[in-house]
Structure 1
Amino acid sequence: MMAEKIAIASDHAGFELKTQLKQELERLGFEPVDLGTDGPASVDYPDFALKMAETLKAGTVSRGVLVCGSGIGISMAANRHPQVRAALCHDHLTAKLARQHNNANVLCLGGRTTGADVARDCLQVFLGTEFEGGRHQNRVAKFS
């Protein structure tokens, strides 16, 4: 059975956390698709949000992870694209609800605001939680 591909990208401020989360994806049996950046040199987070959107639109992956310094900018940039439902998560509960109630397909985290252990927990919960549908379906349909 082929491992599910999960896209992952960051700007310079999220590079270190992205590297750790990429390893966690591999440990969990997923195949990370690294969209960059490739180091700590300053880059613009909207460029990586766009790469994520293009990858989702192409159908190469169905889910992804984005990291910038706070997670705020990259989540805002990602949500400009109709195929993205990005959720900035800070803990186990927000990651769970992002999937259960909002059918988020992109987990956003802050490299400067979220510790590695919490980020790994968010990733595990995000990937392991299904969308409930039901009363949430009509709301999510209104996103696009």
Structure 2
Amino acid sequence: MTRSFVNIINEWDIVAARQLCREFAKELGFGIVDQARITTAVSELARNIFLYANQGIIIVEKIEKDGSVGLIIIAEDHGPGIGNLAKAMEDGYSTSGGLGAGLPGVKRLMDDFSIDSEVGKGTVIKTAKWLR
């Protein structure tokens, strides 16, 4: 498996994205703890797509850099975008009444994290985990 994706349209797709990424991580040789971290991050990203953008896509891909192997997860949507990225990256901030662990939590769980969001156009979040 080098690349796969799940379209996020309904709540069941969040489960499908979690399962896909867990299997992908397992195949690459990630241990149980890192599989759980990856699965938790993907769950949050997919849930955000479903809640805020209504639909989007989760892409998981094998990556290699300087002899290291990992996986990259891309969460992409064409939703309303994030008006205040700095605020969205603060712990405890939530617009949905949740715990507000969302994006900061994803950033902590993964090794690399980048976000590009434009109001009215959508959001692309790229996050990676490297095999130790």
Q: Establish whether TM, by shorter chain, passes 0.5.
A: no
Give the TM-score, by structure 2 length.
Answer: 0.28
**Structure having the larger proportion of residues in helix:** 1
TM-score scaled by length of structure 1: 0.27
